[in-house]
């Protein structure tokens, strides 16, 4: 899966520092290589990461390689997107969606 350099890959080991310790709201993409909707969502997330730089951090975590974080947040479907703010999950979205809809759903974290 090709990821933009704007989307940070995290692991069970780096999740706390990259996500929970972030000063910005963080959109976490729980994904898997075998998931077609996840592959469809990847370029959308890359665009959002680029456009929202400085407002919203976008990270991705492979659930197959990082089962501890997946289990900790009860993620059962891929893709699942969870917004974290101040180290807490504040919004959860399941399934791929077009960029416009995703930005609408993330409006409170992406406002100018």
Active site positions, annotated: 35, 38
12-46 core/surface letters (b: 16 or more CB in 10 A; e: else): eeebeebbeebeebbbbbbbbeebebbbebbebbb
Continuous H helices in the chain = 15, 36-51, 67-72, 99-105, 107-110
Q: Quote the tokens at residue 34.
A: 């075998």
């Amino acid at each position: 899966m090709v990821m933009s350099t704007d989307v940070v890959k995290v692991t069970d080991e780096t999740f706390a520092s990259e996500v929970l310790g972030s000063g910005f709201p963080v959109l976490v993409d729980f994904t898997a290589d075998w998931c077609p909707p996840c592959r469809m969502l990847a370029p959308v997330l890359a665009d959002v990461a680029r456009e929202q730089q400085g407002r919203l951090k976008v990270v991705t975590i492979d659930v197959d390689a990082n089962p501890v974080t997946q289990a900790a947040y009860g993620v059962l479907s891929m893709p699942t997107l969870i917004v974290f703010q101040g180290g807490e999950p504040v919004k959860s979205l399941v399934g791929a969606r077009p960029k416009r809809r995703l930005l609408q759903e993330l409006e409170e974290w992406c406002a100018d």
